[in-house]
Amino acid sequence: MGASLRGQGQTRRLALFGTKGVVSRCRDFTAEALDDWGWTPAVGERGAVVEDVLLLVSEMATNACLHAGGPTELVLRHGPDGLRIEVADTSAQPPHPRPREVSLPGGHGLIVLERLSQSWGWAPTDGGKIVWVQVTSPDRQAGTPDR
């Protein structure tokens, strides 16, 4: 069964507190979900998509740690068009790109989201905001039929 069908319609949630170890917990949680949904084992283009998803999760969690006191929840929604990743935090401030400073490391998180996702955005919540990305499933990216 194709990766885009297995586990379709499932939502997985991970409650998060603080910043210590949160990025690796988010990556591990996501890797387990991708495995359950048939996105792995991943080689070639499929492997690139899985690595992109893990990098996106890392960037989103890191941004929440650096700019919002840490994420409060990671949500993975597996649907017919792929995967929607949401990271919630307690800051009401919208994400905005930092001015590029060649001499300083970092500051590329939103560029990574833009380049590796199909689309991305943010939405205010009662307790802060969520930042989300949409990623096309490996089967759809490779042009493989879903059946």
Question: What is the reported pLDDT for 145?
Answer: 43
The answer, yes or no, to whether residue 147 has pLDDT greater than 90, is no
Q: pLDDT grade, residue 101 (50/70/90)?
A: low
- The answer to whether the CB of 92 falls within 8 A of the CB of 128 is yes
**Cα 45 to Cα 49, 52, 90, 97, distances in angstroms:** 6, 10, 36, 29
Taking the whole predicted model, whether its pTM rises above 0.95 is answered as: no
Per-residue pLDDT reduced to its tens digit, 123-144: 999 999 999 999 998 876 555 4
Q: Where are the domains of the chain?
A: 11-141
Instruction: Please check whether the domain covering 11-141 is classified as CATH 3.30.565.10.
Output: yes
